[in-house]
Amino acid sequence: SAYKRIREVMDRQVRIVDAYKRAWNLVRQDKHFTEAEIDYMYRVYKGILNDSVRNLDQILMVINSFKTRMSDAERLAIIMRAGDRIEQNFVDLLEFNMKTGQLSLNRAKGRYEIERVRRLYGL
């Protein structure tokens, strides 16, 4: 079960990075945000990514560390907690992306611009 969970966590980390790349490319192209807002968004994205990498490092440390003495149950508990935190990182990223898209949509004027923003952000 630990290996299944590790695979799920790795897959989720890939999805986090993919979702970040997509959202960051959209934000940088979106004319509805100021430089200060884009800088803020960058810091939020960087924080989520850094946190997910720290959680992934915890799992890798447990997997690769044979120097650390702990039971299989302790290793599994660390893997599960770090995996849960990565899941939360993913949820946080999706929520932030949704709010960012909604903010851009709220600032859009005119039917064409509104439709363009909806298509870009998948709203």
Radius of gyration (Cα) for the chain, nearest Å?
18
Q: What is the pLDDT of residues 21-54, one digit of tens each?
A: 999 999 998 888 999 999 999 999 999 999 999 9
Q: What angle do CA 12, 92, 20 make, to 5 degrees?
A: 60
Q: DSSP secondary-structure letter at 33? A: S
Query: What pLDDT, on the 0 to 100 scale, is given for residue 66?
Result: 62
Is residue 68 scored above 70 in pLDDT? Answer: no
| Residue 67 pLDDT class (50, 70, 90 cuts) | low
Q: What is the pLDDT of residues 89-107, one digit of tens each?
A: 999 999 999 999 888 888 8
- pTM equals 0.83
Chain mean position to CA 110: 31
